[in-house]
Amino acid sequence: MTDTHRTKYADTRRTLDLDPVTIRKARALARKAGAPVVSLAKKHTTVSVERATLRLAGLEGADVEGIPWVNRLVDVVREQVGLEHGVALPVWDAMLANNDDLLVVAQKAASGSLTFRIPEGHDAARAGRAARSSISAGMRRIDANRKHRDKLIGKYGNPPAPWIYLIVATGDIYEDIPQAQAAAREGADVIAVIRSTGQSLLDYVPEGATREGYAGTYATQENFRLMRAALDKTSAELGRYVRLTNYASGLCMPEIASLAGLERLDMMLNDSMYGILFRDINPIRTFVDQRFSRQIHARAGIIINTGEDNYLTTADAVEAAHTVTVSQLLNEYFAKEAGLEDWQLGLGHAFEINPDVPDSFRLELAHAMLARALFPDAPLKWMPPTKHMTGDIFKGFLHDGFFNLAGALTGQGILLVGMMTEAVVTPWLSDRDLALQNVRYVFNTAGKLHEDFRPAPDGFIANRAREVLGEAVDLLERVVDDSLLEAIGDGTFGLMKRPAHAGRGLDGVIKKESGYLNPAADMLDEGVAR
């Protein structure tokens, strides 16, 4: 994102007359609430973290049943010697002992013809060095992709904010590609390939190009590669860099994050609590996985998009506004602890207040301005109305127009294009074209209206923003007293109760033993420390 956000919107905090002491207190409480979770994450690994490590070392492909070799190998290692010491030591020890490459070791393990051990002493040191050398190749590829992206952005420049974010969701990667290219030609700056419904609950990443998916397309390494290549071609055609987004969430969050870095995706949906709340994935599994995945994003220069908008689809957008602010502050803490910078924090919020509520637009402006004031250097991601779209496409088109106007007034960095056919059909290309016209009309006619827009210092908007911030501080104090895991278990966020020792994927969480080794995690920690 550009440096203009702070210069344009740095005075929002003063306009709303937000107390700097209260803001500092809110951030301190978020750190205090999040720190025990980070400590817990550092003491555990997961099957997906270990599989991601193998992917970074170059292990690709699947067996005849379509099960990835990384799954087969991690499962056998866990069965024979456990994962308390990580997958790297036993696997690279076997590679050195048998003079085999990683794929052959995986195939032998799956066939039952290989026995693993936890090496000690000199053998452990040799295995650790060999593993680090192999994994370094993946890290170098991620680093090279980041440099190449920076080179392309230097060549083409960044589009003005907000970046126009538009989705494709056919289920067929070969249909997604021409739709994505058409959207880019019509003015979209960011293309998001919606993931097939339910993939977040799969404990493996499908292999290869996929042509069937429900309400979206499977996130696979080959699909990432195909779409990135297609958008690079379109970027050259248009003379501007078109960014690509997918989802690093669910049971395979670390793996998908690693694949995104290896294939030069630019943004990833990556929220610290989304999988817990809306997919019933175990909280500990999620926090361990999200820390590793965010470290990958930090190294790869990927912008994350968080999922606060989802809370407002299950909870009332007025009554629960402060939970969005709390989640934004927690997401900021977890992201920065993992090494992400302000320009990589696409913190989420959404235009989801019932339009029949009196002064709903003023309330939306208050919430959006509060987010901008709290995070002046972050490219906030502003989500369009969905919950209260009725199927009346004319009303929906107008509703989206108000959403776009709020974005123009409050300096959102990433604006997801709202569709008038929301809740009716999967949008047609013509729907996307009309939606883009709506965005262009509002932003062309509003111009620099944000320079003139100043809510009354003690008026409705400013008072509402201060009220929400105060409620957020009160909630954070309760979270600190009870612990974040207890708060999640009690249904504090999105009205979903998710206990720490329940949920999908809990059996994939492993407590580390003394001597645990993961060169990928070590290299990522070293990067954060630099």
Least confident of 100-114, 241-255, 422-436: 422-436
CA separation for the pair 253, 275 (Å, rounded): 10
Percent of the chain predicted with pLDDT > 70: 97
Q: Is 207 helix (H, G, I), strand (E, B) or coil?
A: coil
CA separation for the pair 381, 306 (Å, rounded): 8
The CATH number of the structural domain formed by 4-36+159-468 is 3.20.20.440
Q: Are 34 and 42 in contact (CB under 8 A)?
A: no
Tell me what the pLDDT averaged over the chain comes to: 93
Q: Count other Cβ atoms within 10 Å, centred on residue 62.
A: 17
pLDDT at 313 over 50: yes
Domain boundaries, the chain: 4-36+159-468, 45-136
pLDDT at 211 over 90: yes
Which of 199, 239, 188 is CA-nearest to residue 223? 199
Q: Is 390 helix (H, G, I), strand (E, B) or coil?
A: coil
- Residue 2: pLDDT band (50, 70, 90) is very low
Q: Active-site residue 274, yes or no?
A: yes
Please tell me which residue in 9, 241, 274, 311 is annotated as part of the active site: 274
What pLDDT was estimated at residue 14?
76
Q: Is 6 helix (H, G, I), strand (E, B) or coil?
A: helix
pLDDT at 11 over 80: no
pLDDT at 10 over 70: no
What pLDDT was estimated at residue 6?
47
Q: Are 330 and 33 in contact (CB under 8 A)?
A: yes
- Residue 3: pLDDT band (50, 70, 90) is very low
Beta bridge partners of 165: 190, 416
Please tell me which residue in 165, 381, 400, 431 is annotated as part of the active site: 381
Q: Active-site residue 309, yes or no?
A: yes
Q: Which two tokens stand for residue 408?
A: 């123009």
What pLDDT was estimated at residue 82?
98
Percent of the chain predicted with pLDDT > 90: 82
**Farthest CA pair distance, the chain:** 74
Q: What is the mean pLDDT of residues 63-84?
A: 97
Reported as type and span, the H/E element at residue 191 is strand 190-193
pLDDT at 222 over 90: yes
Q: Summarize pLDDT for 30-55 with one digit per residue, the tens.
A: 999 999 999 999 999 999 999 999 99
Q: Summarize pLDDT for 265-304 with one digit per residue, the tens.
A: 999 999 988 899 889 999 999 999 999 999 999 999 999 9
What pLDDT was estimated at residue 528?
59
Q: Count other Cβ atoms within 10 Å, centred on residue 159.
A: 17
Q: Summarize pLDDT for 382-437 with one digit per residue, the tens.
A: 899 998 998 899 999 999 999 999 999 998 899 999 988 877 777 777 888 899 99
What pLDDT was estimated at residue 215?
87
pLDDT at 529 over 80: no
- Residue 15: pLDDT band (50, 70, 90) is confident
Q: Active-site residue 381, yes or no?
A: yes
Please tell me which residue in 266, 271, 309, 431 is annotated as part of the active site: 309
CA separation for the pair 72, 95 (Å, rounded): 16
Q: Summarize pLDDT for 491-519 with one digit per residue, the tens.
A: 888 778 999 999 999 999 999 999 999 99
